[in-house]
Amino acid sequence: MEQNSRRDFLKTAGVATAAAAASGLVIGCSQEKTEAPKPQAPAVQPKKTIEWKMVTTWPPHFPILGEGADKLAELINVMSDGRLKVQVYGGGELVPPLEAFDAVSQGTAQMGHGAAYYWAGKAPAAQFFAAVPFGLNAQGMNAWLYSGGGMALWEETYAKFNLIPMPAGNTGVQMGGWFNREIKSIEDFKGLKMRIPGLGGKVLAKAGGTAILSAGGEIYTNLERGVIDATEWVGPYNDYKMGFYKVAKYYYYPGWHEPGTVLESFVNKDAFAALPKDLQEVVRTATIAANMWMLCESEAKNNFYLNKMVTEEGVQLKKFPDDVVVALRQYSKEVLEETVANDPLSKKVYESFLAFQKNALAWSKISEEAYYSLFG
């Protein structure tokens, strides 16, 4: 009897103790009530911000081109949730416009924005990634770069400069340029001083002219003062904003020299490698979006501003004579052959470009060309 009573007592006491513990009481000498421990919130890690500089070849906030650099920086900031902030410097604000390439290569800035043909003196093959006379249009250039092997060749071209290139915009088919003399035959190019970069400038030289490379912010003054007789720039919207119609008489088309000019972003390879993988993808994806935005913006505005200049400003719109175009095309072929003759990398790039162009042209004849012919 006593043993059973003892067992019952201990059993009852154990249940009571468990109940007391569940209610927050501690059974002991003091029998004091204590607060249950509160869960601790995880420590909030401060968001690390990486700051980059982007130098450009364009005047600050320049219509479409400079705005494209601004747009790219904005996209990177938003897509990274502020973890990667890019400060844009227009040409001359941090470094001179045509020193942007070297500044990024050397790490003075982490990112640049320009056009690859500006760096022909450093790497002849670079020209093929901006515009090729009588070459691919914007649609074709994007297809070659993204899906036809062009990007791998572009990266190879910039590798020795510690740079990673990326397409960051396209102007579409450009205009042939502004002239203060009529072009009635190929002879009219002789002695002509024209602002024209890249391979197009070499074609002009073949025709007897002088190609002059100058930054965008200098063109209007040079044309006004007679330092140059002609200039190409972009298309009607950009050209209207530059005011070229005030200092030149004739506006020629088509833009044989730049049928689909790629604008570029170039990134310091070390700076890019130091980014977390997700931010590397932010930079690449933002650049693709900026590439699309610039082409759309150009296509949306060009015809309106062309009509505005013709109807309101009295611009004389002229087409290059057919025999002039034939001669320019022959000169272009000679220039391209000479360019690749002594530079193995240029030859490699050009062969890829030509093969892709041949394929693209065959398809365009039964797609784009056939469709537009329906409109007369």
The confidence score (pLDDT) of residue 217 equals 81
Per-residue pLDDT tens digits for 330-354: 999 999 999 999 999 999 999 999 9
Measured CA to CA, the distance from residue 44 to residue 42 in angstroms comes to 6
Confidence of residue 168 (pLDDT cuts 50, 70, 90): very high
Q: If we measure between CA atoms, which residue out of 176, 201, 178, 204 comes closest to residue 190?
A: 204
Confidence of residue 184 (pLDDT cuts 50, 70, 90): very high
CA angle, residues 157, 158, 164, in degrees to nearest 5: 130
- pLDDT over threshold 90, residue 29: no
User: What's the pLDDT at 33?
Assistant: 47
Q: pLDDT-derived band of residue 42, with 50, 70 and 90 as boundaries?
A: low
* 195 bridge partner residues: 212, 231
Structural contact between residues 265 and 166, judged by C-beta atoms closer than 8 angstroms? yes
* Ramachandran bin of 64, using left for φ above 0, alpha for ψ from -120 to 50, beta for the remaining angles: left
Do residues 171 and 114 make contact, with C-beta atoms less than 8 angstroms apart? no
What percentage of the chain has pLDDT greater than the value 90? 85
Interior angle at CA 156, CA 112 and CA 211, nearest 5: 60
The answer to whether residues 229 and 179 touch, using CB atoms and an 8 Å cutoff, is: yes
230-287 confidence digits (pLDDT tens): 999 999 999 999 999 999 999 999 999 999 999 999 999 999 999 999 999 999 999 9
pLDDT tens digit sequence for 308-337 = 999 999 999 999 999 999 999 999 999 999
Which domains does the chain possess? 50-170+260-300 (3.40.190.170)
pLDDT of 129 reads 98
pLDDT at position 46:
62
Pairwise pLDDT comparison (99 vs 216), residue with the higher score: 99
Alpha helices, H only, the chain:
2-22, 65-79, 100-105, 138-147, 150-159, 198-206, 216-224, 236-242, 269-273, 277-312, 322-341, 344-365, 368-373
- The answer to whether residues 243 and 308 touch, using CB atoms and an 8 Å cutoff, is no
The pair of structure tokens assigned to 76 is: 């990177």
pLDDT band, very low/low/confident/very high, at 80 (cuts 50, 70, 90):
very high
Statement: residue 102 has pLDDT above 70: yes
pTM attached to this predicted model: 0.85
State residue 17's pLDDT score: 41
| pLDDT tens digits, 352-369 | 999 999 999 999 999 999
Is the confidence at residue 25, as pLDDT, over 50?
no
Given the structure tokens 């067992």, which residue do they identify? Answer: 7
Residue 40: CB atoms within 10 Å: 6
